Every structure is written in C-alpha cells, then in structure tokens.
Copies of this chain bind each other. A is one copy, B any other.
C-alpha cells in the first residue's frame, strides 16, 4: 500500500467538454493554468533560488513528478511563469495603451494598474517580475536575459507610441522627444516597482507618479 490519502475521485479538473475529444488515462487533478499562477506567485515573492520544488509542490497541489511532467524542470517552470506574468501584465495594460484618451489620463491609468500589479500597499508587495527577480537571473541565463531585454523594449515602445500620438494631437510641445519621454516613463515604472517592494506607502508612490506625469506632460510655456 503506497497511497495513503484515499481521496474521493479527484473531480475532473474541468469538464471543458466542448473541444476535448476524450482524455485517455487517469484525469489530471490540477488545472495547469491555476497551478502556473501559484508558481508565479511564489517566484515573484521569493525569486528563483529561494523557491524550492517543495514550496512549488505545496502551492500548486501537484507533486513533484506531476510538476515535471507538466512544466519541465525548475528553470523551465520559472521561465513559463515569467512568460505568464508578461502576458498578464501586457493584457492588463493593452486596452489603455490602445485607448483614445487624453495622454495624461492614459498615463494615470497605466500607473494605477501597475501599482495594483506590483501589490503596492500590500503586506507582501511583489513588485515587478522583470525588475525584481528576472533581472537578477539575466546575468547567468541568456534566455531570461533575452526575455528581460524584450520586456524592457516592449514597454518603451508602448510608451513611445503613446507619446507620439499625444504629440500628434497637440498635447505635447513641438520639441518633445517621444523616445526620451518613453524612457522616462519606463524609469518611473521601474522606480515604483522597486519602492513598492520595499513597502514604501502607496501614497508616496502615487505622489511620485503624479510628479512624473506632470513633468512628462508639461506643455511648452
């Protein structure tokens, strides 16, 4: 007798009857998506090295072999978690970046969402994955480095197009440089990610954001 916990049939993780033709063997006891989400949370709070497979196993409810089967080894799981984080963050901001709102309003919303993602004001703020754990791994792992570089560039580009369209609509002075402004906007995001992690009160972070927006959106005088 190897198995001690005799659970009731583990509740078919998700019917999902639509597309699935029919799974052959024993059904999964986990939902890959939520499991990856749990793993992501752990990696965000503790980083790569300090997060053990036992922790991951406990958090996801999957035992070690299942983790390997589903996601590969620890590093692969980390990379998939990071990819997941990026998708989530991107999705949360995409609408706003695309929206046809006044520049200032758009920036305000972007930063508000960022503060939410970073957990600003929480007891255990997580900060930004890119800034706070991935960047550290970037030195030793080329794949992660490429993802970090891509993340940074992607953000710069999104901000840049934001400023460009703002300039086109006359919300910025003629000599405003969208590239420079975008880098400053990214920098502001980075600095609040770091400060959030150090549990600087959300009020202060909002003040920083407000000041930065004021400076970036200054009309020529």
Contact residues of A between 124 and 146, Cβ < 8 Å to B: 124-127, 130-133, 135-136, 138-140, 145
A152–B200 CB distance below 8 A? yes
- For chain A, which range describes its interface: under 10, 10 to 19, 20 to 34, or 35 or more residues? 35 or more
Residues from chain B with a CB closer than 8 A to the CB of A191 are 183, 186-187, 190-191
Residues from chain B with a CB closer than 8 A to the CB of A133 are 136
A188 to B127, CA, bound (A): 18
Q: A11: CB under 8 A from chain B? A: no
Residues from chain B with a CB closer than 8 A to the CB of A195 are 152
Query: What is the copy number of this chain in the assembly?
Result: 2
Residues from chain B with a CB closer than 8 A to the CB of A164 are none
Most buried by B among A46, A132, A214: A132
Point out the residue from B138, B194, B214, B215 that lies within 8 Å of A135, measured CB to CB. Answer: B194
A208 (CB) vs chain B CBs: closest residue: B183
A145–B49 CB distance below 8 A? no
A139-B124, A187-B191, A191-B190 in contact; A215/B145 too (CB < 8 A)?
no
Point out the residue from B139, B187, B198 that lies within 8 Å of A184, measured CB to CB. Answer: B187
A212–B184 CB distance below 8 A? yes
Q: A39: CB under 8 A from chain B? A: no
Q: A177: CB under 8 A from chain B? A: yes
A150 (CB) vs chain B CBs: closest residue: B198
Point out the residue from B46, B152, B180 that lies within 8 Å of A215, measured CB to CB. Answer: B180
Point out the residue from B132, B148, B183, B198 that lies within 8 Å of A211, measured CB to CB. Answer: B183
Q: A53: CB under 8 A from chain B? A: no
A194: shortest Cβ distance to chain B, in Å?
A: 5
A139 to B198, CA, bound (A): 7
Contact residues of A between 199 and 221, Cβ < 8 Å to B: 199-200, 208, 211-212, 214-215, 220-221
A218 (CB) vs chain B CBs: closest residue: B218
Please list the 8 inter-chain residue pairs (A to B) with the smallest Cβ-Cβ separation, ordered nearest first.
A180-B211, A187-B191, A49-B49, A49-B50, A187-B187, A148-B198, A138-B198, A190-B191
